[in-house]
Amino acid sequence: MATKTYLEAIRDGIHEEMQRDERVFIMGEDVGAKGGVFGVTDGLQKEFGELRVMDSPLAESCIVGVAIGAAMNGMRPIAEIQFQDFIMPAVDQIVSEAAKIRYRSNNDWSCPMVIRAPFGGGVHGALYHSQSIEAMFCHVPGLRVVVPSTPHDAKGMIVAALRDPDPVLYFEHKRAYRAIKGEVPDGDYTVPLGSAAVVREGDDIAVFSYGMMVHTALEAAEKLAADGFSCEVVDLRSLRPLDREAIVRSASKCGKVLIVQEANLAVSVASEVAAIVAEDCFDSLDAPVMRLGGPEIPAMPYSPPLEHYYLVTPDKVERKLRDLAAY
């Protein structure tokens, strides 16, 4: 067991799985000699060659479309989209094709592939390098959508995604890449897709979150603990499917619920979690379900005051938790 960054853990998982399974290859912009714009694939081309770590043309539909074809012909591709913001040209391939291949062929064909993309803001990325648009894909049956928040899960989930028989969107919070460190087991292990994790136990308020916001929520929960309020923090980890049982368990236990995400709230992951709580935990609730997320503006602006205004900070979470505690 060693302490690693979130980024190193993703790379470890890809590296080990490429060693174990020669069907795994990676394709994306700048993934080769440069090792990706964030360095996730650093050193992989040197070890596995230019075919298995392939610099793609600057064309996202091509990256995903080619990966789909390779998946149908027995490979396990990783399609890297440089920023989640640039996934849009590939949406036809993801939603119209990858998501429907098993269903529309009545199980004759399948599309086992992983689409990786960094998301999230707070890195001076402005409108087109900061977005959190995962909810768009959570609406689509036939896709899995996962977001690890710790190095342990980052490795275990990329390996699980590569072994999954269906298309998995694996979103990485770019602020977590180097900011988040943690213990990562050596060798082969997986974290099952579709399962949430209780990362802090508590009785008063259940906080559901994912990605970098899990750490923000933990920071806020710590502050409330000093005043005697105990928060249970649940890392959703899998956004499609959501771990309904885990959500219901924690929400019912605490009776008060806050959902925290960086994305804006309308028709989002938070909306779906709130709906599950409303449907299944109505009798256990002691307060209205509350949500905290980004504002309803097109994307995160560049200038520091504007960017900071967008972000969900530990202070904002703390204020919301105190509102809920006082209810």
Partner 1 sequence: MAVTKTTASRKQATLDAETLRAMYRNMLRSRLLDERMWVLNRQGRAPFWISGIGHEAVQVAFAMNLRSGEDWAAPYYRDLALTLVLGMTPKDQLLSVLQRADDPNSGGRQMPAHYGCRRYNIITTGSPVGTQLLHACGIALAARMRGEDTVTFTSIGEGGTSGGDFHEALNFAATHKLAVLFVVENNGFAISVPWEKQMPTRDVADRAKAYGIPGVKVDGGDAIACYKAAREAVERARHGDGPTLIEAKVVRLTSHSSDDDQRRYRTAEVIEAEKAQDGLLRFRAQLEELGVLTAGDADEMRAELLLELDKAQEEAEAAPLPEPESALLHVLAEDLR
Cβ atoms 183, 151 nearer than 8 A: yes
CB nearer partner 1, residue 51 or residue 226: 51
Please state, in angstroms and rounded to a whole number, the distance separating the CA atoms of residues 263 and 78. 25
The reply to whether 61 sits near partner 1 by the rule CB under 8 A is: yes
**Catalytic residue flag (residue 129):** yes
Quickly tell me which residue has 């067991």 as its tokens. 1
Q: Which residues contact 284 (CB under 8 A, 6 or more apart)?
A: 251, 252, 253, 255
Span 9-38, contacts to partner 1 by CB under 8 A: 25
Number of residues that bind partner 1 (CB under 8 A): 47
Q: Which range, of 11-19, 61-69, 254-262, 295-303, touches partner 1 by CB under 8 A? A: 61-69
Q: Which range, of 40-48, 95-103, 130-138, 273-281, touches partner 1 by CB under 8 A? A: 95-103
Q: Residue 119: helix, strand or coil by DSSP? A: strand
Cβ atoms 255, 285 nearer than 8 A: yes
Q: Which range, of 28-36, 140-148, 226-234, 307-315, touches partner 1 by CB under 8 A? A: 140-148
Cβ atoms 132, 261 nearer than 8 A: yes
The 272-301 site mask, x for binding partner 1 (CB under 8 A), equals: ------------------------------
- Options 1, 74, 226, 283; binder of partner 1; rule CB under 8 A: 74
Cβ atoms 35, 44 nearer than 8 A: yes
Q: Which range, of 62-70, 155-163, 204-212, 303-311, touches partner 1 by CB under 8 A? A: 62-70
- Options 13, 65, 125, 294; binder of partner 1; rule CB under 8 A: 65
Please give the structure tokens belonging to residue 89. Answer: 């040209």
The reply to whether 93 sits near partner 1 by the rule CB under 8 A is: yes
Q: Residue 236: helix, strand or coil by DSSP? A: coil
Q: Which range, of 85-93, 118-126, 182-190, 287-295, touches partner 1 by CB under 8 A? A: 85-93
Please state, in angstroms and rounded to a whole number, the distance separating the CA atoms of residues 79 and 66. 9
The reply to whether 139 sits near partner 1 by the rule CB under 8 A is: no
CB nearer partner 1, residue 216 or residue 238: 238
The reply to whether 200 sits near partner 1 by the rule CB under 8 A is: no
- Options 105, 139, 275, 323; binder of partner 1; rule CB under 8 A: 105
How far apart, in Å, are the Cα atoms of 253 and each of 196, 269, 273, 316, 321?
16, 21, 15, 24, 16
Please give the structure tokens belonging to residue 310. Answer: 């967008």
Cβ atoms 1, 155 nearer than 8 A: no
| φ, ψ of residue 261 in degrees (nearest 5) | -145, 160
Q: Which residues contact 96 (CB under 8 A, 6 or more apart)?
A: none
What's the closest the beta carbon of residue 126 comes to partner 1, in angstroms?
Answer: 25
- Options 9, 10, 87, 101; binder of partner 1; rule CB under 8 A: 101
- Options 30, 37, 38, 100; binder of partner 1; rule CB under 8 A: 100
Q: Which residue is catalytic, options 15, 129, 173, 215?
A: 129
| φ, ψ of residue 139 in degrees (nearest 5) | -80, -10
Contacts to partner 1 by CB under 8 A: 25, 51-52, 56-57, 59, 61-62, 64-75, 77, 89, 92-93, 96-97, 100-110, 141-142, 144, 164-166, 194, 241, 244-245
